[in-house]
């Protein structure tokens, strides 16, 4: 498979970190949940690269570097390995390969989870930007459970459909814009991406047409 990306194609790396799933003890549910959510949320072209690896810091770091530097992903989502247990080292590996920390993503993830369990404060999920000379990617740590993955990405709504707490993915497309990635659009019925008016392509096109 060629590693040359189409200009308008978003490349997303999906990494599930689990000793038991990677060892075949049970079926991984993290990657299928991430893929399913992305297929529902994204309305622009994208492809995914998947990796199932153990809770080993060296393996996690190597995988993240490969996905960004070689595969040239624009976005990498990890699931698993973010708790306080000795084997939970995904955040450490993520920070180690990053060039900029993006703490707001982790803060919002914990705000979402705190609506359900007080132990959400034990989560150490984080996000970073990894930059090379000619490429950059956003790397984010997500929860391990499919239900929590969905809630974290798209946020929470009440019975009337009003947003109670915003999901983190609303900020992802604009972040990818800012680091030089492709323009990604979402289905607002799943997760409405936010961009300033000056960064919205349709708004820019209307201005150009009326100039």
Q: Which of 75, 72, 209 is nearest to 141 (CA)?
A: 75
pLDDT in tens, 155-164: 887 777 777 7
- Token pair belonging to 132: 């090379």
User: Within a domain: residue 173?
Assistant: yes
Domain with 20 in it: what CATH number? Answer: 3.40.980.10
Cβ–Cβ < 8 Å for 172, 137 = no
Residue 166 phi, psi (nearest 5): -75, 145
The backbone torsions φ and ψ at residue 208, rounded to the nearest 5 degrees and listed phi first, read: -65, -40
| Domain assignment of residue 75, given as a range | 10-210
Tens of pLDDT, residue by residue over 62-96, are 999 999 999 999 999 999 999 999 999 999 999 99
Whether 61 shows a pLDDT value over 90: the answer reads yes
d(CA 72, CA 145): 27
pTM for this model (two decimals): 0.89
pLDDT of residue 154: 92
Evaluate whether residue 118 is within a structural domain. Answer: yes
Statement: residue 138 has pLDDT above 50: yes
Determine the pLDDT at residue 7.
52
Q: How far apart are CA 82 and CA 119, in angstroms?
A: 13
Mean pLDDT of 52-67: 96
Residue 184 included in any domain = yes
160 found inside a domain:
yes
Residue 42 lies inside a defined structural domain of this protein: yes
Q: Per-residue pLDDT for 118 more than 50?
A: yes
Task: Indicate if the pLDDT at residue 183 is higher than 80.
Answer: yes
In a domain, 3, yes or no: no
**5 assigned to some structural domain:** no
Task: Look at the chain and report how many structural domains it folds into.
Answer: 1
- The answer to the question of residue 2 being in a domain is no
pLDDT surpassing 80 at residue 209: no
Q: State the residue for tokens 């993503």.
A: 105
Q: How confident is the model at residue 6 (pLDDT cuts 50, 70, 90)?
A: very low
């Amino acid at each position: 498979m060629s590693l040359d990306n189409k200009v308008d194609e978003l490349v997303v790396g999906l990494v599930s970190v689990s000793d038991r799933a990677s060892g075949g003890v049970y079926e991984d549910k993290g990657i299928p949940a991430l893929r399913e959510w992305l297929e529902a949320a994204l309305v622009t072209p994208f492809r995914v690269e998947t990796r199932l690896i153990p809770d080993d810091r060296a393996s996690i770091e190597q995988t993240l570097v490969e996905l960004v530097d070689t595969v040239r992903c624009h976005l990498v989502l990890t699931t698993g390995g973010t708790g306080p247990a000795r084997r939970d080292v995904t955040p450490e590996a993520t920070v180690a390969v990053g060039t900029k920390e993006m703490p707001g993503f982790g803060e919002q993830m914990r705000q979402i989870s705190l609506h359900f369990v007080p132990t959400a404060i034990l989560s150490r999920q984080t996000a970073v930007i990894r930059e090379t000379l000619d490429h950059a990617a956003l790397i984010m740590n997500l929860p391990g459970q499919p239900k929590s993955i969905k809630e974290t990405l798209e946020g929470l709504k009440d019975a009337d459909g009003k947003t109670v707490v915003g999901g983190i993915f609303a900020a992802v497309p604009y972040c990818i814009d800012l680091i030089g990635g492709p323009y990604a659009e979402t289905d607002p019925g799943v997760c409405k991406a936010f961009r300033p008016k000056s960064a919205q392509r349709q708004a820019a096109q209307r201005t150009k047409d009326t100039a």
